[in-house]
Structure 1
Amino acid sequence: MSNAKEPMTEYGYKKLMNELNDLKKKQRPETVIELDIARSHGDLKENAEYHAAKERLAFIDGRIGELSDLVSRAQVIDPTTYEHEKIRFGSTIMLENLETNEEVTYTIVGSTESNPDRGLISYYSPLAIQLMGRGEGEEVTIKLPSGKQVYEVLEVAYREINFEG
């Protein structure tokens, strides 16, 4: 566990808090009851319900620890409060691969919110790190695991993110 701040949107923070509250107030108490009921059935060595509940409780406790750590380090950032003339947290970027002429669009979000398949990339991803501070019209050589690629930054803007769909 690190002390580094974890940037995230308000949506990401609320999502973490909702999961943490659900685990603490609903799932954990229910699992403790299941464990007590299973324990009352006797011989614990061959009691599948007991072992399943015990494993589930361990998983829940581990997840509560992870989420508590993330929440304690959360730095909620509202990207609507600043200009997006340069790429930064919350920016939506349209890039053109100068080799293939393929255009791609990404939005830079917190690591807990990232979903590359939906164009949401982590603030800590190699791509985002190399794009930070760049502006429209700039050419950027990006070093990725697949090799170097040259992109032109076509657009930097703020767009409301639909995390649900």
Structure 2
Amino acid sequence: MENQYFSKEGLEKLKNELEKRSSVLRPEIAKKIKEAKEEGDISENAAFDAAREAQASNEGRIEEIKIILENAVIIDSSISRSETVIVGSGVKVDSDRGAQDFIIVGAAESDPIKGFISNESPLGKAFLGRKKGDKVEVKTPKGVSEYKILEIK
């Protein structure tokens, strides 16, 4: 698996999710499974089936988080004031939609509506390594969009 980039806060949030799933949800689900088994025949027991499904989902997410954490790289905010766009950079651009601000983040922290663009997205990939003043063309399902980098923060 490739590196997964995180802010300190984003990594802490993921660690907290792992802790909650391991220490809180896992025992709660185990208790529900036990209670459902005590009801008798589990072959047609909806509560048992739901609890087992919740258990599988929770365990899957726990394993996913562990793998992500093994490949996690913290974005060093002290180097984010680079001359070129890197993961962690804030980027102000001009396009046919006017001026826009983005922050380039790892895929796990992306939220395009809030302006957090994944370094793995077409837009993020296009900005990486670029400098102030560069023009960037990005192919999207809606066509080609052109951006001019106004500022790197």
Sort the TM-score into its range (normalised by shorter chain).
over 0.9
Question: 1:61 matched to which residue of 2?
Answer: 59
Length, aligned pairs only: 153
Distance across 2 between alignment mates of 1:89 and 1:5: 12
Q: Does 1:137 align with 2:122?
A: no
Distance across 2 between alignment mates of 1:38 and 1:117: 41
Please point out which of 74, 77, 80 is paired with 2:78.
Answer: 80
Q: Does 1:127 align with 2:123?
A: yes
- Unpaired segments of 5 or more residues in structure 2? none
Please point out which of 148, 158, 163 is paired with 2:144.
Answer: 148
Q: Deviations over 1:62-110 (max 9, x none)?
A: 111111110111111212235322111111111111xx26111110011
Q: Does 1:103 align with 2:113?
A: no
- Unpaired segments of 5 or more residues in structure 1? 158-165
After TM superposition, the score normalised by the length of structure 1 is 0.88
SS at match of 1:152: strand
Distance across 1 between alignment mates of 2:100 and 2:43: 55
Closer, same or farther: CA 26–101 of 1 in aligned 2, 3 Å: closer
Question: 2:35 matched to which residue of 1?
Answer: 37
After TM superposition, the score normalised by the length of structure 2 is 0.94
